[in-house]
Amino acid sequence: MSPEKKENCGLFGIYGDADAVQKTHFGLYSLQHRGQESAGIASSNGRFIQCYTGMGTVARVFRKDSGLLEKLSNPMAIGHVRYSTTGSTKSANSQPFLSEYSRGQVAIAHNGNLINASVLRDEYEAYGHIFKSTSDTEIIIHLLAKPSHAMREDPIAHTLQHLQGAYCLLFLFPDRIEAARDPHGIRPLSIGQTASGAYVVASETCAFDTIGAKFIRDVEPGEIVRLDERGLHSRFFSTPGEVTPAHCIFEHIYFAKQNSDVFGENVHTFRKCLGRQIAREHPVKADVVIPVPDSGTSAAIGYAEESGIPFDMGFVRSHYIGRTFISPTQELRDLQVKLKLATVKEIVAGKRVVVVDDSIVRGTTTRGKIRSLRQAGAKQIHMRVSCPPIRHPCFYGVDFPTKEELLANNRDMEQIRDFLDVDSVGYCSLEGLLSCASLPADHYCTACWTGQYKIPINTVVNKFIMERYQMTMFEGWIEENV
């Protein structure tokens, strides 16, 4: 997976299982691809919630010798793995967030991005509220705790009606778990059940496979699902069907794991369909089809099947190089590419090579991969991409760079080809992409390609918007003291 685009976050929750914390731990492992910045688990014994979060991967935060899982052991738990789409990489932004307000304790875990978070924070800070983090998730706690909201018949439903953007949420109260999904259903959230009857909620169904649970259904857009001692209960905070869904199709293209079922269809099958579609749209005479692993593998298999060109592994990915490895110079960044993706010279030397990747964002990492193929002796290199050119930023939970940094912004295909130093480049068309999906075309968000945002962006939205005051204070101190 390319470091040019970052994951969302991963959620996992389970109610009514003696091994709830251990199973949450396993569930987070299976969702690790969605975020590696921090991890955390909150659990409850029915009266009190306890929580532990830390920076890094699940394995680093919950080391085997730490005893943390035993200390957290309780029959209900929620967990979170994070990649930041609002707020920087620091401990204060780790989730779940555990707070206490007039109604007691609550822990919250969030996947998505609230586009009105800065407006809400401005309002609450004006009334004296103090925020501990720079994450948009903390806004939800302040909304929930507001007296006029807390006294409502359904405080969660009322709180969610104030949010705009993409969100899947898990709330852990001392006696129950509440799971919710935004009215547009932008991010996935699914319900499962273990053999013993315990209910599970997760961002992807691959987490159910890990703990031996079976998939039941998705949490519907605008739905709140409550898990408690009486079982599973559903209610809606927005009228079903009132808005057209805007599922993020990038979940299928890149984010989700191949064995997950997302938005009603298997990810691997979808990506193979994309590969076949690209082969039809952009045929070429070549000797071998190779993927950029791992998210490009399924599409490359589809391309090879449709074109009749042999499939092989021209790149070998190292799973031991951390994604947060940042290099200060271009020379070191080039070495990083070689560390993460080693070229198999015997597969590409003297051959016409089709390289299949899921997407290209800035293009600098892709150009490094192409350079390594040239050095390995590839005769020709034909780049094929299983989605259209990305020309617009995402405000709903994908950490794309600014519009100016995007490779396809203000470049035509010839200029993109020259930048990447390939013999040809071909992107899947938007129509071709949507033809691989099982749902109607208008049920997906395509804003990163078209610039047409289904939820209007009426305010400034960027990853570090919540840190504006801290930066202003720091800049003022520099002016006065340096």
Residue 207 and residue 30 in contact, taking contact as beta carbons nearer than 8 Å: yes
Please report whether residue 455 resides in a domain: no
Sign of the torsion angle spanned by Cα atoms 137, 104, 100, 10: negative
DSSP, collapsed to helix, strand or coil, labels residue 154 as coil
Residue 382 and residue 426 in contact, taking contact as beta carbons nearer than 8 Å: yes
Whether 337 and 418 map to the same domain: the answer is yes
Whether 64 and 36 map to the same domain: the answer is yes
**Rounded Cα distance, 96 and 54, in Å:** 10
Whether 270 and 407 map to the same domain: the answer is yes
**Rounded Cα distance, 165 and 447, in Å:** 13
Average pLDDT, the chain: 90
Please report whether residue 248 resides in a domain: no
pLDDT attached to residue 4 = 52
Whether 20 and 123 map to the same domain: the answer is yes
Please report whether residue 82 resides in a domain: yes
**Rounded Cα distance, 25 and 211, in Å:** 10
pTM: 0.90
Whether 23 and 150 map to the same domain: the answer is yes
Q: Which of 2, 70, 68 is nearest to 40 (CA)?
A: 68
Q: Which residue, of 243, 270, 285, is where some domain finishes? A: 243
Please report whether residue 110 resides in a domain: yes
Exposed, middle or buried, 416 (CB in 10 Å: 0-12/13-18/19+)? buried
Whether 192 and 275 map to the same domain: the answer is no
Whether 193 and 303 map to the same domain: the answer is no
Residue labelled with tokens 């905070």: 237
Q: Which residue, of 210, 243, 276, is where some domain finishes? A: 243
Whether 330 and 379 map to the same domain: the answer is yes
Q: Give me the active site residues, please.
A: 9
The low-confidence residues of the chain, meaning pLDDT below 50, are 1-3, 86-87, 323-328, 469, 471-482
DSSP sequence for 292-303: -TTTTHHHHHHH
Structurally, the chain folds into a number of domains equal to 2
Please report whether residue 61 resides in a domain: yes
Radius of gyration of the chain (CA): 23
pLDDT attached to residue 339 = 74
Whether 436 and 375 map to the same domain: the answer is yes
The CATH number for 21's domain is: 3.60.20.10
Please report whether residue 309 resides in a domain: yes
Please report whether residue 459 resides in a domain: no
pLDDT attached to residue 326 = 40
Cβ atoms within 10 Å of 101's Cβ, excluding its own: 14
Please report whether residue 254 resides in a domain: no
The CATH number for 375's domain is: 3.40.50.2020
pLDDT attached to residue 230 = 96
Whether 207 and 97 map to the same domain: the answer is yes
Residue 392 and residue 451 in contact, taking contact as beta carbons nearer than 8 Å: yes
**Residue 15, both tokens:** 């109610």
**What is the residue range of 415's domain?**
262-450
Whether 232 and 172 map to the same domain: the answer is yes
Whether 212 and 305 map to the same domain: the answer is no
